[in-house]
């Protein structure tokens, strides 16, 4: 049977405006960094994308290098667009990025105009799309003038290959300069995608202020700290976790006893709130309205359902916030 999205999909999802733009993003977005590549089970990925959209998740976040192998997540998503999501294209925000290594030679990574434009052309072909809604510079390039990188983003919008542009993992100072350049070019910065969680709060040291001042949205990746802020690690490192996988960004040596002790204490707070640790962690990232959307990853449908359920309790008392700060200190 052809896929038909649930008619009630917009009834419970919360949508937040990205900065001062006209774009509203779901409070929970789905990233395809893991579990949607060529080495993964296609039908599981398809089930997760369908479930996410049925829950009101309209934003799917990709990058040229997502897989493995690189590019395969976009290919999988392109297949899903053909079979299931094409009738709903105008209800979706689809993003991709370029910045990390994709092909051999000096033009296969970083932030040159040569690389960014070629990479987006490849991404559009893999996904079978005429345009993406958001295209990001995935990382700051220290060896390319920022004017060139931002100029490439501006050109991409003017060519109709992207509707909006974003940056990822830029510092507060780099973001300030990027905003100024893009404003001069006439293509305002829509959004910044930084890593942000209870275990990694670097954005609070200036970046959030820059984004607020200039009306730029933010979408937090790794809000669950690669799974650390879930119930997976309460008793140690499970054999099927990211920390047990030698190719993962999360290494076993990062999961210290001190960190696990903090996670256990945070879990106690979550239980008192009637939430799982993952749900409280997402609610915490979304507190105060300074984050537009929390970008989750998932390996099964039930994780998406659990994460979206976090939206039923986004409020924190001052006592809860103080207790969390004390645990994390």
For the residues 58-71, what does the mean pLDDT come to?
98
Place of tokens 């106690």: 268
Q: What number of CA atoms fall less than 13 Å from residue 74's CA on the CB side? A: 24
Q: What is the third-level CATH fold of 15-233+276-315?
A: TIM Barrel (3.20.20)
pLDDT digits (tens, 9 = 90+) for 237-280: 766 565 545 555 565 677 888 999 999 999 999 999 999 999 99
The answer to whether the peptide bond before residue 80 is cis (omega within 30 degrees of 0) is: no
Q: Buried b / exposed e across 70-80, counting CB within 10 Å, b at 16+?
A: bbbbbbbbbbb
User: How does pLDDT run across 151-178, given as a tens digit for each residue?
Assistant: 999 999 999 999 999 999 999 999 999 9
For 170-208, b where at least 16 C-beta lie within 10 A, e where not — what string?
A: bbbebbbbbbebbeebebbbbbbbbbbbbbeeebeeebb
Residue 34: strand, helix, or coil? coil
Q: What is the pLDDT of residue 255?
A: 84
- Model pLDDT, residue 242: 55
Cα 302 to its chain centre, rounded Å, is 19
135 forms bridges with which residues in the sheet? 96, 165
Burial of 245: CB neighbours in 10 Å, binned 0-12, 13-18, 19+? middle
The CA distance from 46 to 300, in Å, is 10
- pLDDT at position 239, please? 60
Mean pLDDT, all residues of the chain: 95
Inform me whether the pLDDT recorded for 102 exceeds 90.
yes
pLDDT score of 245: 52
């Amino acid at each position: 049977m052809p896929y038909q999205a649930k008619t009630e999909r917009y009834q419970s999802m919360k949508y937040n405006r990205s900065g001062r733009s006209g774009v509203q993003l779901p409070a929970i977005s789905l990233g395809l960094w893991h579990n949607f590549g060529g080495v993964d089970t296609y039908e599981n990925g398809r089930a997760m994308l369908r479930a996410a959209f049925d829950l009101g998740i309209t934003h799917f976040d990709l990058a040229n290098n997502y897989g493995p192998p690189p590019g395969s997540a976009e290919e999988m998503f392109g297949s899903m667009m053909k079979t299931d999501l094409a009738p709903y294209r105008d209800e979706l925000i689809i993003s991709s990025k370029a910045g990390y290594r994709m092909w051999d030679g000096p033009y296969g990574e970083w932030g040159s105009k040569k690389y960014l434009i070629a990479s987006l052309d490849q991404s559009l072909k893999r996904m079978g799309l005429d345009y993406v809604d958001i295209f990001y510079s995935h990382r700051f390039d220290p060896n390319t003038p920022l004017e060139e990188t931002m100029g490439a983003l501006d050109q991409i919008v003017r060519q109709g290959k992207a509707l909006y542009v974003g940056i990822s993992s830029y510092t507060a100072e780099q973001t300030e300069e990027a905003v100024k350049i893009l404003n001069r070019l006439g293509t305002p910065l829509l959004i910044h995608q930084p890593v942000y969680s209870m275990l990694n709060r670097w954005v609070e040291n200036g970046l959030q202020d820059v984004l607020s001042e200039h009306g730029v949205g933010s979408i937090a990746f790794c809000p669950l700290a690669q799974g650390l802020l879930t119930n997976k690690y309460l008793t140690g490192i499970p054999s099927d976790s990211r920390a047990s996988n030698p190719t993962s960004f999360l290494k076993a040596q990062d999961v210290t006893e001190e960190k696990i002790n903090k996670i256990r204490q945070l879990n106690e707070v979550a239980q008192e709130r009637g939430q799982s640790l993952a749900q409280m962690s997402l609610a915490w990232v979304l507190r105060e309205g300074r984050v537009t959307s929390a970008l989750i990853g998932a390996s099964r449908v039930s994780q998406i359902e659990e994460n979206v359920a976090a939206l039923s309790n986004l409020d924190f008392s001052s006592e809860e916030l103080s207790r969390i700060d004390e645990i994390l200190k």
